[in-house]
Amino acid sequence: MRVISSLGLRLSRPAAEALWTGIVTDTGRFAYSCTSASTLRCGALLVEAGARTDMINSAVYETVRINRLMLLRRLLGKLHVFGGGRAAVASLSAGDYAAENCGPDDSENFVDVARAVGGVDAAAFVRQLEDGGPVFISIRTHAPFDAAQVCSAWGGGGHARAAGASVSGKSLDETVREVESALQAFFE
């Protein structure tokens, strides 16, 4: 926004809406710790430029395909809370995706389901999109736990609150066990 302002440019409504969508999703609707006063000022400028926040909110957060909900049902059936209620891991197999006619976009933000459990400080979503293919890990944490540190064990990265990794040559079940063990170590 500073660059646009310094050049004296005006944002079109489509540009403002695209930027708003990025900021809202990256900040968890302005709820994550990465939200700053500057972020909120940028949001205000985007609204002034015509961003239709209600329309974007509805499209991004309130409209889902039934297939996604059925996939979510499968995820909930595999949610495991442990570590005295402070850790949670949920997983989906290639078979789960196929059974519900879903792809990777349908499980976007599913790690938030595990993180939403009251008392959970470290959550993971582990998924395999095709049998024998790589297993993807997404981890979210609350301070003082470091998601990037955990994901580094599998060659992944990110930052302290959100990180990911991709694992090849291991089964989904084996990877889930490793992730559970890594998160359990936080609480020992």
Instruction: Mark which of 18, 45, 61 sits at the end of a domain.
Output: 61
Q: Are residues 150 and 128 in the same domain?
A: yes
CB 24 within 8 A of CB 54: no
> Which runs of E-coded beta strand occur in 14-129?
80-82, 87-92, 122-128
Q: What's the pLDDT score for residue 11?
A: 86
Pick from 86, 157, 172, 80: which is nearest to 126 by CA? 172
pLDDT, tens digit, 9 for 90 and up, residues 54-107: 999 988 888 889 999 999 999 999 999 999 999 999 999 999 999 999 999 999
Task: Please tell me the total count of domains within the chain.
Answer: 2
Q: What is the pTM of this model?
A: 0.79
Q: What's the pLDDT score for residue 64?
A: 87
Q: For the domain that residue 153 is a member of, what is the CATH number?
A: 3.10.310.30
Distance CA 11, CA 18 (A): 11
Tell me the two tokens of residue 13: 């409504």
User: CA dihedral in degrees (12, 17, 18, 24; nearest 10)?
Assistant: 150
Instruction: Mark which of 61, 81, 105 sits at the end of a domain.
Output: 61
CB 172 within 8 A of CB 91: yes
Distance CA 178, CA 184 (A): 10
Q: What's the pLDDT score for residue 61?
A: 83
Instruction: Mark which of 11, 42, 61 sits at the end of a domain.
Output: 61
Quick one: which H or E segment has residue 142?
none
Low-confidence ranges of the chain (pLDDT < 70): 1
Q: What's the pLDDT score for residue 34?
A: 81
Q: Are residues 103 and 178 in the same domain?
A: yes
b/e 50-59 (16+ beta carbons within 10 angstroms → b): ebeeeebeee
**Which residues span the domain enclosing 176?**
66-187
Q: What's the pLDDT score for residue 128?
A: 98
Query: What are the backbone dihedrals phi and psi of residue 126, each rounded to the nearest 5 degrees, phi first?
Result: -120, 130
